[in-house]
Chains A and B, each alone.
Chain A
Amino acid sequence: MTASDISDKHRFLAQGNVYLPHIMIIEKIIEETPGVKTFHFNFKDEQIRDEFTFESGQFGEYSVFGVGEAPFCISSSPTRGDHLEFTLQRVGKVTNALHRLGVGAEIGFRGPYGNSFPIDLLQGKNLIFVGGGIGLAPLRSLIWNVLDNRDKYGDVQIIYGARSPADLCFRYDLDAWGDDKTVDVITTVDRQESRVQSPVSRVEAGNSRLQSQESRVGAGDSRLQTADSRLLREGFVPQVLEQVAPSAENAMAIVCGPPIMIRFTFPVLGKLGFTPEQMITTLEKRMKCGIGKCGRCNIGDIYVCRDGPVFTYAQIKRFISSEH
């Protein structure tokens, strides 16, 4: 690590203390699925708001004061918008507290931490994004980043799956990417039946578009609709990937999803001719400090917060079977 890297890492410290959070204001909340929300948020301190920069793939530590801190990636793209976004599933103490907050509430944020997607390595390549469930959040930051610099990349294919139609996140993005003629979007669900009363027929008939973000929120059953010409497939992500069979030539696959999906996706990519160096993923661990000190996020000698969260399969291969 060079001195400039280090000073770079220290750019956005509150009061020079790496553990002190910045106070952030929630500006908008989007309910992605019944258990997943995306928060648009911004620095309360306007100077930092102007100076803050990050890269796709980096994460932060978010806190509800009095409840605790938890790590999430920044799900928005550095190429877009005057605010930041993060997306989280309601699963534990901190995420439950975050889900209860409304627009205008204050949260704590430290970051950005970790490495980022290797943009230099991805440019000029055909990109295959493989996402599952809320794992689309970090990919989404990169996808928008790529699409905002479209001429620097080759073909872009997105294979995204969720458990059921109701569990598909970022429908407004899937919709927008589907509309983009330079992007091939394949959406799949493990099963068509949804936990919510599912309009399976409508999904199969594909007779209506994914609804726009505004009308979708709170629209109940009617949001279980998919794009017109884009068939919602049925099947697990690795299976669909195998059927779609993207070429490994001059390609990079970027994978993020639940550990079980990642575990089954790498072998499929291998079968399709992708080398471990051509497979990229971003990992999630219980990163308490985010800065390589608290000790718990390691896979072997690799600390996900310090050395990742973005890795090539080649880097984590020897440990992945037993600890991820």
Chain B
Amino acid sequence: MGIKKIAKKDIGNLLHQWGKDYTILVPSTEGDTALTVHGSRFTVHGLWDGSDVNLDWHRNTVKPPKSNFLPPMEEMFRFQKGKEGHSIELPQEERRQLIFGIRPCDARSLRLLDMIFTDVYQDPYYLPKRNSAVLVGLVCLRPYDSCFCTSLGISPGGSDDVDLLLTDIGDEFLIEEISDKGKRLMELTAGLEDATEDDITKASEAKEKAYGKVTRKIDTQHLKDKLLSSFEDETYWEKVAAKCIGCGICTFLCPTCYCFDITDEKVKKQGARFRCWDSCAFSLYTKMPMENPREEKWQRVRQKVCHKFEFYPMSFDVIACTGCGRCIRLCPVNWDICQTLEGIRDRGGDHQ
């Protein structure tokens, strides 16, 4: 496995080079709103001169990369009514994407989304984008206080879920090949230097340090069973949901939330069918004309928690949470998933 490095000042050239074959997405800071912090989201850089990205960024983006694979609103097909009846036209295939600077937690989230989009039926919109994309990961040197990825088998210091992995070693990034796809990309990439022993040692130290910086923990042992036995405990879920304002931010910004709605728009004889993000935080999400199985807020909060920590494990044998902490640090009322899970863990002795 070849280990290379590149000077930070040359990153612009590197992305230019890759930009010939890929749409390049980099974490970028935009605007000046309350929700904007370093690297607010992944944005497209067609002709990028390196000026609008702070190369000292170390913190994860506000928005997860899922929207580059499952856009908030996506055209599924267009339809038109003519003399011969309705005809349907599929959208054109998009250019393949290279996500630069994706964190280990977010790279894992895509692996979790893959499970749902390949389950029985292959999703014809998500999968082509996903399969053609290259993920250039970045070791996460400054996790947030709200991060708890290490409790979910993820390390901020490494990832098997990316194609290439970068580590900040000062004025340079170390570049490691992780997958075959990454290896092929490296072979086609000019202008990289071989890393020295010293560089590799520096990177290892940084990675190890990163791991220790994630101090928040959750205990996932028996969690699934405890959630199952607490499912009917309305009092507990009401308490947990009490301060939730049902805004849905935690679901929209969750890297593993994927729920969507399908909706039509039409003007005269032509229109399109769209897939749009939806959220289990909203009562309309499950509403049927005659009834609503999740009318109450506590039922919806329970759904969100149980989906990730009980139902997903039952279907796919893995927890659908990466511990990225977005739902904690971005919640307007400081709702804390870890506290909820702690409460569940401390309940009942059925599964001790």
Contacts and interface: CB of A to CB of B under 8 A. Distances in A.
A259 interface: yes
Nearest to A133: B290
A293 B77 contact: no
A292 interface: yes
A1 interface: yes
Contacts, number: 132
B289 A91 contact: yes
B290 A91 contact: yes
B271 A68 contact: no
B259 A9 contact: no
A18 B280 contact: no
Q: How many A residues touch the partner, as a band?
A: 35 or more
A21 B90 CA distance: 12
B260 A301 contact: no
Nearest to A297: B286
A1, A9, A66, A259 — which one has the most chain B CB atoms within 10 A of its CB?
Answer: A66
Contacts of A69: 262, 264, 273
Nearest to A107: B86
Interface in B70-98: 76-77, 79, 81, 85-86, 88, 90
A294 B266 CA distance: 22
Contacts of A66: 79, 264-266, 271
B123 A293 contact: yes
Tell me whether chain A's interface is mostly helix, strand or loop, or mixed: loop
Contacts of B232: 321-322
Interface in A291-324: 291-296, 298-301, 306, 318-319, 321-324
Interface of A: 1, 6, 9-10, 14-21, 23, 44, 63, 65-69, 89, 91-92, 95, 106, 108, 258-259, 284-286, 288-289, 291-296, 298-301, 306, 318-319, 321-324
Nearest to A294: B260
A295 B264 contact: no
A319 B310 CA distance: 13
B110 interface: no
Contacts of A68: 262-264
Given A19-B77, A44-B85, A106-B85, 13 more contacts: A6-B120, A18-B123, A19-B125, A65-B271, A66-B79, A258-B290, A285-B293, A286-B287, A286-B288, A291-B120, A293-B119, A298-B303, A322-B231
